[in-house]
A and B are shown apart, each in its own frame.
Chain A
Amino acid sequence: MSLLTRNKAPKLADHNAGRKLFGSRGATITVWIIAIFWTIPTLGLFATSFRPKEEISANGWWNFFIHPHLTLANYSAIFSSGTTSGISNGIMPYVINSFVITIPAVIFPITIATMAAYCLAWVKFRGSDALFYGIFALQIVPIQVALVPLLNLFTGGVHIGTVTVVPALHIAGTFVGIWLPHTMFALPLAIYLLHNFISSLPRDLMEAANVDGASHFTVFRRIVLPLSVPAIAAFTIFQFLWVWNDLLVALTFTGGTEGINPLNAKLRGLAGTWGSHWELLTSSAFVMIVVPLIVFFSLQRYFVRGLLAGSVK
């Protein structure tokens, strides 16, 4: 215990210095001004989503406060099976698709990364450092360069001459085909973040557990996992927002299988070829925003803690 308190002391001092810097009146006012300006467009979009189509095209959203004509027409249009949206069953199937894509694409990398991070941090084996740096370095590979080769792997496999190295996986156009790229591209950052956090856990805890005869798996499950919740939660927010908002991977890997498109891929289409129904974008954008907001606010208390995880030693 004494060790823990000793470790905490300098952190507390840092914290106070930060509080001093950001706690001044000038900083508070600046932060409020930035926050308000940042929120205005979203507020405008929100107000617009409740205005009738005619008024949206006639004048700006601020007229909402002068002539508050509220309507839910924009919301009912996107959920009902109408012809205006060009989507036969409304957007609900695509909202569900977004969940079906996002939830596993968050769980998979976190599960793998937590285990990998523990392994790289606490299980010493030959080349573990090199492996860690290798994974860390993989972050510099931009996702864009890997899209077409990956899609080729899914549809055609890998061949050298006539020799099949990897057979065609036939997972393009399935949910697996989207979960996999998201997992792959999340892993380097996830492992890096969690490794930094997990490696900063007190060595005494692990040693005590080892002395008591705990296996690596027990240590991982009973000590590392519960202590890593802030870091895991922070990364969950990151990954959830990234996958939920992702358009590129979804468009590339859902291919022509419209039935597995996430909401994102359908949003722009609601406005129509000539943008004649762009009032539908306001309401659908809000449906799109609500979910990440819920995720963020329910996990935000971990966010800053998790972000700083491992950065202050």
Chain B
Amino acid sequence: MAISKKNLLLGGSSAVVIIVVAAVLVATLGSSSGKNGTSAANCANVGTGYAVQQGKTVEVFTSVVGDELTRYQTASADFTACTGIKINWNGSDQFEAQLPVRVTGGTAPGLALVPQPGLIAQMVATGKAVPAPSAVKANVDKYWSASWSQLGSVNGTFYAAPNSANLKSLVWYSPKQFAKYGYTVPTTWTQMMAQSDKMAAAGQTAWCGGIGSGGATGWPATDWLEEVVVREAGATVYNNWISHKVKFSDAPIIHAMNTVWSWMGNSKYVGKVSTIATTSFQDAVTGIPSGGCMQLQQASFIAASLPAGSVVSPTGDAWVYYLPGISSKVTTPVEGGGEFYLAFNSNKDTVEAQTFFSSPQWAIARIKAAGSNGGWLSANSGVPAATYTNPLDALSAKYLSDPNSTFVFDASDAMPAAIGNGAEWTGFTDWFANGTPVKTVAARIDSAWPAGN
């Protein structure tokens, strides 16, 4: 008994020693990583007007993790060296769940990199978010189109400056096949449809289509409808559609659905329409290089599903063109996604970091950090096109950074999950698989809309 008691006590005291040693270790590791690299910094790349604030740290809380986060650290190194403000890029895959807890619990970060406009509104409603300082607002007004500053605003007050952006409004085609048959890249919707008629007359399949995606089957079709809605009706109707002020069965959406049906639901262009519902979205792109089908509306990521050995270039096996607009009233409609910097305090260091992140210098540094593979683009019009080393990024950035562009967020992602990840998918799958009338599909989705939204 006495021995076991001794052991227990001994175990206790050695555990305390471990804790102390470990705590010291953590402290030393923490301090050693806070070194300053002033020597290699090029302050011309950071911009002017920043006050030096040594010893300050601004936390940026983000959903970005892993090697992508390392690139953020690389890109902000010059800013830290020149202003003394350390940026603590704190990435968490639980970002969406953690941010509300941290904000309401009183441990809000200095800045949060929010990927959904809905979450910005939710954070502003807590009363803890602070409106963007004037320098940030000036940058966004100068470098971004008005639709971007609207997305970062809540009830008319501007809060969040955009960070990166991505573009969905792309059509894949094969430059080699187009050259072979003498087709050109269309710049208007009418041209695109006229050329599709020509392809159909020549016995070709003008459009590839596939909306199969396991449990998420139907999502590519939601993108088709979204592209048409913003092209025909503009951003206001589009954003009201997200909030269900405009219903699926209202005239603009029904009209857009009919347009989609005359395009992707047109057996003249796609062959047997019902096969769209059974073809996976990855398989849809495989016909592009060989000319099995001529065009496919899909975002840039689908390049990964091209057959091995396909050359992605403006003269190669596969390339993209911008899905042209329909109504002349809607200038350069683009659908995509993006992230926004939302601030939770107005400390001088936070404001300075926020201002830097809204500058072209930041976007340029971040694009350079991405390297030749690219994958990071900004809608900041202050970024010279030559900054992009990846041609696909350069093409996307051209439309995103157009000062007149009408940028809208992916609607199905912004709608309640019961619709955007549910009724809309199943409804559209039914639409393409069975040719269910447009009005029936629309009514069914409307009736599934959760009460109180």
Contacts and interface: CB of A to CB of B under 8 A. Distances in A.
Interface residues of B, number: 40
Nearest to A273: B68
Contacts of B12: 107
A173 B30 CA distance: 14
A96 interface: yes
Interface stretch (B105-113, B270-278, B351-359, B410-418): B105-113
19 contacts: A93-B26, A99-B18, A148-B104, A151-B101, A155-B106, A156-B106, A172-B107, A226-B1, A229-B8, A251-B94, A251-B98, A252-B98, A255-B102, A255-B107, A256-B59, A269-B93, A271-B66, A272-B67, A274-B68
A86 interface: yes
Interface in A216-268: 221-222, 225-226, 229, 247, 251-252, 255-256, 258-260, 265, 268
A86 B67 contact: yes
Interface in B205-257: none
Among B12, B61, B88, B101: residue with most chain A CB under 10 A: B101
A83 B8 CA distance: 43
Contacts of B91: 86, 269, 273
Contacts of A260: 26
A86 B15 contact: no
A265 B92 contact: yes
Contact of A252 (B18, B26, B67, B101): B101
Interface in A131-157: 147-148, 151-152, 154-156
B124 interface: no
Interface of A: 83-86, 88-89, 93, 96-97, 99-100, 103-104, 107, 147-148, 151-152, 154-156, 172-173, 175, 221-222, 225-226, 229, 247, 251-252, 255-256, 258-260, 265, 268-274, 276-277
A86 B107 contact: no
Interface of B: 1, 4-5, 8, 12, 15, 18-19, 22-23, 25-26, 29-30, 33, 59, 61, 63-70, 73, 88, 90-94, 98, 101-102, 104-107, 109
Given A226-B1, A229-B4, A152 B105 contact: yes
A270 B26 contact: no
A247 B102 CA distance: 15
Given A97-B26, A100-B23, A269 B107 contact: no
A256 B93 contact: no
B5 A252 contact: no
A152 B104 CA distance: 8
Contacts of B23: 100, 175
Given A148-B105, A151-B107, 15 more contacts: A86-B65, A89-B29, A93-B25, A151-B102, A173-B107, A229-B8, A251-B98, A255-B105, A256-B88, A268-B65, A269-B92, A273-B65, A273-B69, A273-B91, A276-B66
Contacts of B98: 251-252
A256 B65 contact: no
Contacts of A154: 105-106
Nearest to A267: B93
A19 to B, nearest CB: 28
B66 A151 contact: no
Contacts of A271: 65-66
B22 A256 contact: no
A258 B107 CA distance: 13
Contacts of B22: 96-97, 99-100
Given A89-B33, A173-B107, A269 B61 contact: no
Contacts of A148: 101, 104-105
Contacts of B1: 222, 226
A251 B93 CA distance: 11
B15 A107 contact: yes
Contacts of A173: 107
Given A273-B63, A276-B66, A258 B90 contact: yes
B65 to A, nearest CB: 4
Contacts of A96: 22, 25-26
A49 to B, nearest CB: 18
B102 A256 contact: yes
A84 B68 CA distance: 9
A226 B93 contact: no
A93 B67 contact: no
B26 A86 contact: no
Given A88-B33, A103-B15, A269-B93, A252 B68 contact: no
A156 B108 CA distance: 12
A256 B105 contact: no
A256 B19 CA distance: 22
B69 A152 contact: no
Contact of B26 (A225, A255, A259, A277): A259
Contacts of A156: 106
Contacts of A175: 23
B193 to A, nearest CB: 35
Given A93-B26, A269-B92, A269-B93, A256 B109 contact: yes
Contact of A147 (B5, B8, B64, B105): B105
Given A97-B26, A100-B19, A103-B19, A272 B102 contact: no
B105 A269 contact: no
A256 B101 CA distance: 12
B29 A86 contact: no
A258 B5 contact: no
Query: Which 9 residue pairs across A and B have the least CB separation, nearest first?
Result: A272-B66, A151-B105, A155-B106, A269-B65, A255-B107, A86-B66, A268-B93, A273-B68, A226-B1
B17 to A, nearest CB: 11
Contacts of A229: 4, 8
A100 B107 CA distance: 22
Nearest to A95: B22
A276 B70 CA distance: 14
Contacts of A97: 22, 26
B69 A269 contact: yes
Contacts of B73: 88
Contacts of B65: 86, 268-273
B5 A225 contact: yes
Contacts of A273: 63-66, 68-69, 91
